[in-house]
Amino acid sequence: MIKAIVTDIEGTTSSILFVKDVLFPYARANLADYVQRHANDPQVKALLEDVCTEVGEQLSTGQIIDQLIQWIDEDKKVTPLKSLQGLIWEAGYRQGDFKGHVYPDAAEKIKAWKSQGLDLYVYSSGSVHAQKLLFGHTEYGDLTPLFSGYFDTHIGGKKDRASYDNIAVQLGIPANQLLFLSDIKEELDAAKAAGFQTIWLTRDSTPDPQAEHRQVNSFEQISWAKA
């Protein structure tokens, strides 16, 4: 029996191309200007210090910007980078430069599950702020009221079993009553090791019935046995 669903974003509810071709380039193009203008804001200042801690040395603002750009280019899931990206995307969403992409089948199922009484959570490498912005600005309107909570890399990396142990403890739900949805096998392996049920979104390829986690290419195909 499933009590709650925890979903990934990129490649699962939302297109990889939206993240890679819209969000990441927008953050890259606006990063230097944003950091220079906000370097003394307490929140940004703390994030810039976290970058220095992460690399293990004191860097100038220019060096921090270069490091952040390198991490964007390498798609590194480093917590201060993900937090800064969220702050930069905020302006893009508010100005209407882009909308948060959500596949129609995902939007429909998320609404249906919520109305059936399931609790829905997000677990993404994007910061909680970025997650709320994406689901708050979709072509189906604001989907954030459908979610009961959000997790990002502050709880741990998505390929680490301990992160899923922590999520289950925080939710107060036995892991075997939690369903995790993702497009990345290593994330699903970690969730399964923690006792979660798992479904693998393949989106652009035909599901493989022999795969280690049940594969589907649309939320429409997601179902489970009712105990």
Half-sphere exposure of 226 (CA within 13 A, CB side): 2
Residue 158 CB, shortest distance to ligand L4RZE5RM, in Å, is 6
At residue 119, the 3 state secondary structure works out as strand
CA dihedral sign, ordered 173, 175, 178, 182: positive
When asked if residue 195 is in the footprint of Mg ion (CB under 5 A), the reply is: no
Which option in ligand L4RZE5RM, Mg ion, none does residue 125 bind, with CB closer than 5 to 8 A by kind? ligand L4RZE5RM
Judged by CB under 5 A, which of 10, 147, 156, 213 binds Mg ion? 10
Find the binder of ligand L4RZE5RM among 4, 5, 6, 10 (CB under 6 A).
10
Residue 134 binds which entry of ligand L4RZE5RM, Mg ion, none, with Cβ cut-offs from 5 to 8 Å by kind? ligand L4RZE5RM
Q: How far apart are CA 138 and CA 155, in angstroms?
A: 26
Name the binder of 124 from Mg ion, ligand L4RZE5RM, none, CB < 5-8 A by kind: ligand L4RZE5RM
Distances in Å between the alpha carbon of 68 and those of 15, 43, 76, 79, 165? 23, 16, 9, 11, 30
Alpha carbon of residue 173 to chain centroid: 21
- Structure tokens, 224: 């489970």
Q: Which residues bind ligand L4RZE5RM (CB under 6 A)?
A: 8-11, 19, 23, 77, 82, 85, 124-126, 130-131, 134, 158
